[in-house]
Amino acid sequence: MDVLGALIPLILMFAIFYFLLIRPQQKRQKKVQQMHASLQKGDRIITIGGLHGTIDAIDENRVVVDVDGSNKLTFDRQAIREVTNQD
């Protein structure tokens, strides 16, 4: 009975840790992966460095971003922070 009394606080701490830290992080990561998978040419994006532009070309791992109509930069797909298309 004494062992059970020692395990209950550990189990409760793990449950709290899971629901406050692990689960929300997994949800955020899944959302980012879905956003990266749905990128397409013409999307207006912001990179993790804060660069705003429009996707000009895209392949499996890289994205070519048109910055101001004449400058194009190549980024890894994971460097895209968000899509800012106006719906």
Distance, in Å, from the CA atom of 6 to the CA atom of 18, rounded to the nearest integer, reads: 19
**The CATH fold of domain 40-86:** SH3 type barrels. (2.30.30)
Q: What is the per-residue pLDDT across 6-47, written as a single tens digit (0 to 9) for each?
A: 899 999 999 999 999 999 999 999 999 999 999 999 999 999
Distance, in Å, from the CA atom of 73 to the CA atom of 66, rounded to the nearest integer, reads: 7
Distance, in Å, from the CA atom of 69 to the CA atom of 56, rounded to the nearest integer, reads: 10
Q: Band of the pLDDT at 4, cuts 50, 70, 90? A: confident
Q: What is the per-residue pLDDT across 45-81, written as a single tens digit (0 to 9) for each?
A: 999 999 999 999 999 999 999 998 889 999 999 999 9
Domain residue ranges of the chain, discontinuous segments joined by +: 1-38, 40-86
User: Which of 84, 86, 12, 9 is closest to 51 using CA atoms?
Assistant: 84
Distance, in Å, from the CA atom of 36 to the CA atom of 31, rounded to the nearest integer, reads: 9
Q: Which helix (H) or strand (E) holds 55?
A: strand 52-58
